Amino acid sequence: MVIQATQAPRGYIAAKPALTPTQKPANAGESFQAAATNFAAGLQETEATAKAAMVGKADPHALVMALTQSELAIETASTLRDKVVEAYQEIMRMPV
């Protein structure tokens, strides 16, 4: 097998389109609003699945998946909140 020095850059160039965003991001306000809406909708879906599982109308596997997804969403929101608070505190410590 012959390996050329130009194979690696070609591979990176070929992979780059898969890593770039396909659409232009919205402004920050719309992004945060969409994230909050998706977060709330996910929690409502998990709650509905949990209620259905309590009365025997939902698959236990679906309940576990819903709970795992909601746990991940809550951890992400908590981490994001912590980072925002940390950034705010850092800004407040800056001398004027």
Q: What is the pLDDT of residues 22-76, one digit of tens each?
A: 666 567 778 888 888 998 999 999 999 999 999 988 888 888 998 999 999 999 9
| Whether the Cβ atoms of residue 16 and residue 25 lie closer than 8 Å to each other | no
pLDDT at 4 over 80: no
pLDDT at 12: 61
Angle (deg, nearest 10), helices 28-54 and 60-93: 150
pLDDT at 31: 82
Q: CA 1, CA 35: separation in Å to the nearest integer?
A: 49
pLDDT at 92 over 90: yes
Structure tokens at 57: 């109308």
Dihedral sign (CA 92, 77, 71, 24):
negative
pLDDT at 84 over 80: yes
| Whether the Cβ atoms of residue 53 and residue 65 lie closer than 8 Å to each other | no
pLDDT at 41: 92
pLDDT at 1 over 60: no
pLDDT at 18: 55
